[in-house]
Structure 1
Amino acid sequence: MRWFWLLWLAVAVLCGCRRESGAGPAPAAGAREPAQAVLLLTRHLHDNDLAAFARDAVPPALHRQLEAAWRRGQTRWPLDELPFDERLPRLLGALAEPEAEARLQRVFDRQFAGETTALKAAATTLGLFGAQYVRQGSDFSAGERAHYLQFVQALSRWGASAPLADPVRARAAIPLLAAAARATGLRSEADFARTGMDGSLRRLSGFLRTLKQVLAGYGLALNDSLAALQAEVVESRGTQAKVRMRYTLGGSPVEAVVEVERIGDRWYLSDYLRHARQAVAAR
C-alpha cells in the first residue's frame, strides 16, 4: 500500500503539521495578533516554506532546542506531529532508489491499476483507522480531537471518490515524485539528523510542492483550501485567545476552534507549543 500511504501522508503533512491554517496576507515577522498565529502558518504552508513554518510556530529559544533535539534523533518535530511520520524517510528512500520509477509503476499496475472498488474500500478503512486513532490518542486536546475527526472524515470521503486507480495519472505522478525525492538528498533517518531540522525542512519544501501538484491531479487542490481558509477571534482574555477557522478539504467543510497564546509580543498556537515542549523534554 506504499502508493496509497504516500498520498495520505502528503495530505497530512501539508494540511497540517498539526494542521492549524489560515488565509490572507501574513505578518512579516511573527504573529502580533491572535488570528495571525493561524494565518502566518498557513501562508508558509501555501508557499511551501516549511522551515519558516517551524520558525514561526514556536518562540526562538524553543526553536533552537528543537533543532538540537532533531540532530540528536530525539524528535522530528513538526513532522512527528503525524501518526505515521516514521514512514517518511522510508518513502523518500524508496522513491529515490535507482530505477524506482519502473519498479513502482510495476507495483501500481499489478496491485492498483483499475482497482477502483478496492481503493475506495481502502480509503474508507483508513478513514475509520484515522478516526479511531484520534479518539484514542491521549496527547490530543479537546480542540484537536474535534478538528481532526472532521479532517479524517473529509479526507476519507475524498479518497473514496478520487481516481486513485487511474494508470494514466500514476504514470505521470511517479516520475515527478521520484525526481523530487532524489532532489531532497534525504533517504534515511541519518540524513535527517545530519541535515538538521531547518535544513531538512528546506529540502522537503520542494518535495511537498511536487506532492501538491500530484494531489491536484487527483482532485485535491490543497493550495485552494489553504488560500480560502477563514480565521476569526471568538474569545480573547489577556495572553489567551481562541480562533475559529473554517476551510474546505476535498469538497467537505471543516470548522474548528483553536487556542492561541501570547509569549512576549508574539502569538502562538497552544497545542503546537505543548507538543514542541514535549518533544524537547523527551529522552
Structure 2
Amino acid sequence: MSVARAVQTRSARYGGLLAVLLLAVAACRQSSPDAVAPAAEPVAAVQAMAQRLAEDDLVGYARLAVPPSQYQRLQQAWDEGHSQWPLTELPLGDQLLPMLSALREPDAGPRLQRSFDRQLAGQASAVRQAAQSMGNFGVQYLQHQKGYTPSQQAHYVQLVQTLALWAQGAPISDRARARSTISALVGAAGKVGFGDEDGLRAAGMEGSLQQLAPFIHTLKAVLASYGLGVDEALRSLQGELLSVQGDNALVRMTYELAGSTLTLQLPLSRREGHWYLTRTLADTDALLRQADAARAAAAPAPPAAPDAAGEAATPPPKP
C-alpha cells in the first residue's frame, strides 16, 4: 500500500473529527451589517476580519473581505446559483452540505456513536500513530509541492506540524467526550434551516451565513474542548507592515495555536480606498467573471431585425 493510500485509509477512520478541525481552522487563513467599516491600514484590515470570525459574525467577515461593489455582485451571483462565496474559502467548503446532511439524519447521533465505538473508542495509540503519519506525509507533500511561495510553504508546514502534534495529544479516542461532541454537532446542525443546495440558495448569501454562524460556533467549541482554541488563535493575531508599494502591501502576521507560534506573510491590495487580501480579490474577481459569463450565456438571444422585405432575417449560425 502506498503512503498516500495509507494516509487516506487512516483518515477515513477518523475523518469526521479531522474534517471538523480543518473546517474551523480555515478561519486562521479566513455586529450588525451596517456597523461594519473596513480598516484603513493593512495589518488592521487582517485583524478586523479575524475578529469578526472570532465573534462568529460571518456576515461581518464577508463584508470586510471584499469591496462593497463586489459584495453586492457576490450576493446576486449567490441568488442566481453561480456562487457560494465565502463558504468556498474553506478548504472543505464542498463538504459542508454533505456534513450537515449527515448530521441532520434522524438516526445521526446513534449511527455516528456506533461508528466511533467501532473505529476509535479506546484506540489512543492508533490515533497517535495515525496523526503522526499524516503529519509527516503532509510535511513531505508540502515540501515537494510547487506553486507555493517560500513564505506560504513555511506557514503550511508549521500549521501541519502543529495540528499533527495537537492531534497526537488530544483525547480523540475518549468515548464520553465523543458522545458529547456528536450530540452537540447533531443539535447544531438541526438548527440550520437548510441541508441542500436549493435551501442554501433560497436563504441567500447573508441568510445562509447567519444560519451557519451558530453551527460554526459549535464546531469551534468542540475543537476548544479537545484543546484547540480557534477563537484564541484568531484573537492573538498580531502583525507588522513589511512594505507598501502603491496599492500593494505585504504584512507579516503571527498567531498562537495549540501552544505554538505560527507566522505567515500576506499580500494585500487597496481597492476603493481600503485594504483587502490579494488572494481573496483574485478569487472573487474570477468567480464574478464566471458568473457574468454564465448569466450572458443563459440570456435569451435578441430578436432578429427584419430585412428589406419586412421579414425577419435568419440569424447566422453560431460559430
Superposed pair shares fold, TM > 0.5 = yes
Residue 23 (structure 1) aligns with? none
Q: Deviations over 1:101-130 (max 9, x none)?
A: 111111111111011222223323443565
Query: In structure 1, the residue corresponding to 2:254 is in which secondary structure?
Result: strand
Change in Cα spacing, 1:107 to 1:97, as seen in structure 2 (3 Å) is same
Matching residue of 1:53: 61
Instruction: Give 1:54's aligned amino acid.
Output: A
Instruction: Kindly provide the amino acid, as one letter, of the partner of residue 199 in structure 1.
Output: G
**Partners in 1 of 2:118 and 2:65 — Cα distance?**
42
Which letter maps to 1:278?
A
**In 1, Cα distance between the equivalents of 2:154 and 2:97?**
29
For 1:147, the equivalent position in structure 2 comes to 155
Find out whether 1:127 has 2:150 as its counterpart. Answer: no
RMSD across aligned positions (CA): 2.5
Q: Which residue of 1 aligns with 2:72?
A: 64
Q: Are 1:29 and 2:37 counterparts?
A: yes
Match of 2:186 in 1: 178
Tell which deviates more after alignment, 127-136 or 28-37.
Answer: 127-136
- Say if 1:18 and 1:81, in contact at 8 Å, map to a contact too: no
**1:97 matched to 2:105:** yes
1:11 pairs with 2:11? no
For residue 143 of structure 1, report the CA deviation from its aligned partner: 4.6
Separation (CA, whole Å) in 2 of partners of 1:272 and 1:18: 14
Distance 2:92 2:143 in 1: 13
Match of 2:215 among 207, 219, 232: 207
Distance in 1, Cα, partners of 2:143 & 2:207: 30
Kept after mapping to 2: 8 A contact 1:18/1:82 = no
Residues 149/68 of structure 1: CA separation in 2 closer, same or farther (3 Å cut):
farther
CA 1:54 to 1:142, structure 2 compared with 1: closer, same or farther past 3 Å?
farther
Render the CA deviation track for 1:252-281: whole Å, top value 9, x for unaligned: 221011111211221111111112222223
Three-state SS of the structure 2 residue aligned to 1:91 is helix
Amino acid in structure 1 at the alignment position of 2:45: A
- Partner of 1:233, secondary structure, is strand
What is the one-letter code of the residue matched to 2:46? V
Deviation at 1:134, TM superposition (A): 8.8
Question: What is aligned with 1:156?
Answer: 164
- Residue 254 of structure 1: SS of its match in structure 2? strand
Q: Between the two structures, name the one with larger relative contact order (CA 8 Å, sep ≥ 6).
A: 1
* CA offsets 1:188-216 (integer angstroms, 9 cap, x no match): 22222222222111111100111111111
Q: TM-score, normalised by structure 1?
A: 0.87
Number of residue pairs matched by the alignment: 276
Whole-Å Cα distance in 2 between the matches of residues 205 and 2 of structure 1?
27
Which of 262, 269, 282 is the aligned partner of 2:270?
A: 262
- After superposition, what is the alpha-carbon deviation per residue over 1:225-265, rounded to whole angstroms, capped at 9, x for unaligned? 11222112121223221111111222222101111121122
Task: Specify every segment of 5 or more residues in structure 1 that has no aligned partner in the other structure, as ranges.
Answer: 21-26
- The DSSP-based 3-state class of the residue aligned with 1:15 is helix
Once the two structures are aligned, what percentage of the paired residues are identical?
Answer: 38
Tell me the distance in 2 between the aligned counterparts of 1:196 and 1:137. 37
SS of the equivalent of 1:31 reads coil
The structure having more radius of gyration, on CA atoms, is: 2
Contact 2:142 2:157 in 1 (8 A): no
Distance in 2 (alpha carbons) for counterparts of 1:125 and 1:280? 40
In the alignment, what sits opposite 2:261?
253
What's the CA shift for 1:142? 5.6
2:289 maps to 1:281: yes
Does the 8 Å contact 1:50/1:205 carry over to 2? yes
SS of the counterpart of 2:45?
helix
Change (3 A) 1:81 1:28: closer
Secondary structure, in 3 states, of the residue corresponding to 1:16? helix
Match of 2:90 in 1: 82
